[in-house]
Amino acid sequence: MDKDEHIARLRARRQRIEAFERALESIREVETSLQEMRELLTEQLKFQRSARLADIRDADEAGVPKTKISKEVGLSRARLYVDLNKPVSGDK
């Protein structure tokens, strides 16, 4: 193999390595974006669950049967009772 062939081989190897590095950087960017989305959705889910609990308490105080409430919100009755026994925000 002469010098030109070695140079061509080295350039080709460099191009392949740089392609892998670009692909890995792209993956890192996607991972960062997904992590940010996950954190945002987690916060929104917490808010929605709190709002659901408030709605459950309102319905319970209005006399809606617990079986109907549990069916409509998709919780088991046991879980509904657990949620209803949680302290209201601000209570100690």
- Domain contains 89: no
- Domain contains 40: yes
> pTM of the predicted model, to two decimals?
0.69
Q: In this structure, what token pair is assigned to residue 42?
A: 């987690």
pLDDT per residue, tens digit, the chain (92 aa), is: 899 999 999 999 999 999 999 999 999 999 999 999 999 999 999 999 999 999 999 999 999 999 999 999 999 999 999 999 988 765 54
- Domain contains 91: no
Number of domains, the chain: 1
How distant, in Å, are the alpha carbons of 26, 51, 82, 83, 88 from that of 92?
Answer: 48, 19, 17, 16, 8
Q: In this structure, what token pair is assigned to residue 71?
A: 């069916």
d(CA 33, CA 66): 41
